[in-house]
């Protein structure tokens, strides 16, 4: 039976997927949420509208990535430049998932990595959280098994304790208290961080944010009391980027807030650059 949830007349999602909905709770009173008509409601009367694009805003207002940043990211990722990273993340996150498992993507963006994971584990479902409603409009449509929610990751998450089988954290803030609370015992936490050499070739053309060389040491130290490292993988991707994609890769993340207008004007030809990431896999201690 198809798991699709599009309304045939409008092309918009018709409902929130049942597995992530069952894991959600009201951010005001922590009561379970249920869908009634085009809203998620709790027994205390709090109500959150289901947007026509399929996401639910539990946050109210946010200041996430802009429409321009999201468009740049969607265009860059859709071109397949980071497909090897998506395959590696999906392999680690989807490994041995039970039926009806829940994968939570904390900082999902456009849902690119979450949809790749669900494509590898079709019996699982996903919940993507992000502050950017511009990104969530795309995430909600990235895969029929994704439920997309606007939320601030630094706040207590609107999820039941031990409701997630896997949590993915890819270039996003890490709320380790909530990761431990929401993840089931022996559940998997997949963290993706840029390597210190990530896109180093572009620094000859534009002043980009530095990546801390001690990032992994600090990551392991912060997790060691509640999680055990079970695997770590380097992922290097050599890319030949046309000027338009150079602009996209610089402007699709935090560098967009720091790069001066016209800083990439000197990039008039294709550049060969190396994208470098580290995928760290942890198990939640009982």
Residue 263 has φ and ψ, to the nearest 5°, of: -65, -25
Nearest to 220 by CA among 254, 176, 253: 176
Q: Beta strands 39-42 and 146-150: pairing type?
A: unpaired
Site of tokens 């996003």:
172
Q: Look up residue 206 and give its DSSP letter.
A: S
Please indicate if the annotation marks 82 as binding a ligand. Answer: yes
Please indicate if the annotation marks 111 as binding a ligand. Answer: yes
Please indicate if the annotation marks 217 as binding a ligand. Answer: no
Query: What is d(CA 156, CA 159) in angstroms, rounded to the nearest whole number?
Result: 8
**Residues 218-239, buried b or exposed e (16+ Cβ, 10 A)?**
ebeeebeebbebeeeeebeeeb
Please indicate if the annotation marks 247 as binding a ligand. Answer: no
Judge whether 159 and 81 are in contact, CB under 8 Å. no
Nearest to 134 by CA among 157, 152, 110, 155: 110
Please indicate if the annotation marks 112 as binding a ligand. Answer: no
Give the Å distances, CA to CA, from 131 to 35, 143, 148, 279, 280. Answer: 22, 19, 11, 23, 24
Q: Beta strands 39-42 and 33-36: pairing type?
A: antiparallel
Judge whether 65 and 138 are in contact, CB under 8 Å. no
For residue 222, what are its two tokens? Answer: 């912060």
Total Cβ atoms within 10 A of residue 6 = 15
Binding residues: 42, 46, 82, 110-111, 198
Binding residues for S-adenosyl-L-methionine: 82, 110-111, 198
Binding residues for Zn(2+): 42, 46
């Amino acid at each position: 039976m198809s798991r699709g949830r599009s309304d045939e007349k409008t092309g918009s999602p018709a409902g929130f997927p049942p597995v992530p909905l069952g894991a959600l709770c009201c951010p005001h009173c922590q009561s379970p949420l249920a869908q009634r008509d085009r809203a998620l409601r709790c027994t205390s009367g709090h109500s959150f509208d289901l947007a026509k694009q399929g996401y639910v805003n539990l946050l109210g207002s946010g200041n996430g990535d802009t429409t321009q940043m999201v468009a740049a990211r969607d265009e860059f990722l859709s071109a397949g430049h980071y497909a090897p990273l998506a395959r590696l993340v999906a392999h680690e996150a989807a490994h041995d998932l039970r039926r009806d498992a829940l994968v939570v993507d904390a900082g999902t963006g456009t849902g690119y990595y979450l949809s790749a994971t669900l494509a590898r584990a079709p019996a699982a479902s996903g919940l993507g959280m992000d502050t950017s409603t511009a990104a969530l409009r795309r995430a909600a449509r990235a895969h029929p098994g994704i439920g997309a929610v606007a939320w601030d990751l630094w706040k207590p998450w609107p999820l039941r304790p031990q409701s997630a089988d896997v949590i993915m954290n890819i270039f996003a803030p890490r709320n380790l208290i909530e990761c431990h609370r929401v993840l089931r015992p022996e559940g998997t936490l997949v963290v993706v961080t840029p390597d210190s050499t990530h896109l180093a070739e572009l620094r000859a053309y534009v002043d980009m944010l530095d990546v801390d060389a001690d990032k992994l040491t600090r990551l392991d130290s912060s997790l060691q009391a509640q999680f055990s490292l079970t695997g770590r993988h380097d992922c290097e991707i050599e890319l030949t980027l046309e000027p338009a994609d150079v602009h996209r890769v610089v402007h699709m993340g935090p560098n967009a807030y720091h790069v001066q207008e016209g800083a990439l004007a000197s990039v008039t030809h294709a550049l060969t650059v190396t994208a470098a990431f580290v995928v760290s896999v942890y198990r939640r201690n009982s």
